[in-house]
Amino acid sequence: MVCSTAWAYGAARSGLGLGWPWAAYDWATAGVGGVAHNIPLPQNKKRKGRRFTIAVSSDKVLMMENKKPRWSSDYLPDETLRARAQHFPRNSGVEERALAISRRLPTRPAVFAEIGVYAGDVSEMVLRWRPDVDAVLVDSWTAAPLGSDWEKTRDGHAAMCQTEHELVYQFCRERMAFAGSAVRIMPLDSLTAAALVDNATLDLVFLDADHSLEAVRSDIEAWLPKVKPGGWIGGHDYANEMFPLFGVKQAVDERFGSQVELDANYTWFVRV
């Protein structure tokens, strides 16, 4: 397979020249199977977000926030979010997805997870709009096995070779550097990552990974318990007519039925 987009990402990455200004937490080498460690991540001086300590053990990753005063559970109005969006232009689909997520995040400091991050466009926009929000970003950044259900969906990401995925991963890390300790990047498959996150710790989960039917079913079951009561689970490409082989709509309808709430750019959400 020819890595056609690898050169573009390589050029973009070298042009950015951002580096990685803090000791990034590497989930692949941090000793998840070993003795528990408390790893404080340094607070980014330019961004006032919450500070977390990550406790890594053989079976859990616990996100423990410092105690804060209780905030109102109201949501920021769309006009506020749109005003902020003008300072961080992206293509309309990215902005629409970021807005759909942001309007469901409470005004108090919150934590959301994006499963299937790719280059991080959507999460970057949410984090720039909401400096009080933290993010858990999950993506395997690995090529789809030949003949896999994911490849059969004809998703463009599934057609990428490993070199392309690795370049996009590095690009995403550099893109998220501005957020400092507000971001946890987990280069793992969805189900492995879900097993490392405590239940009822996330305000919103957004699923945008493998869109094959069984994968979406598995992602929903794995991540639904991670959402706090009153939070949201959602995702992308619900009834996207450009990709008739995607299993998103069937999996979501089977699990949630009439509870599904639709938003722009083929997004779906369910209140937990």
Instruction: CATH number of the domain at 243, please.
Output: 3.40.50.150
Q: State the DSSP code for 107.
A: S
pLDDT of residue 45: 34
pLDDT of residue 34: 25
Tokens of 22: 């803090």
H or E stretch at 43: none
Tokens of 56: 């890594």
pLDDT tens for 37-78 read 222 333 333 444 443 333 333 333 333 233 232 223 345 555
Using pLDDT thresholds of 50, 70 and 90, give the confidence band for residue 161: confident
**Domain contains 117:** yes
> What type of residue sits at position 105?
L
How many structural domains does the chain have? 1
Measured in degrees and rounded to the nearest 5, phi and psi for residue 228 equal -65, 150
**Domain contains 16:** no
Is the pLDDT at 186 greater than 90? The verdict is yes
**Domain contains 24:** no
Average pLDDT, the chain: 75
**Domain contains 55:** no
Q: In terms of Cα–Cα distance, which of 223, 225, 231 is closest to 192?
A: 223
- Enclosing domain of residue 153: 69-271
**Domain contains 251:** yes
pLDDT of residue 144: 85
Strand 202-207 to 227-235 pairing: parallel
Tokens of 77: 């109005």
**Domain contains 175:** yes
- The whole-angstrom separation of Cα 263 and Cα 98 is 11
**Domain contains 15:** no
**Domain contains 13:** no
- The whole-angstrom separation of Cα 100 and Cα 134 is 17
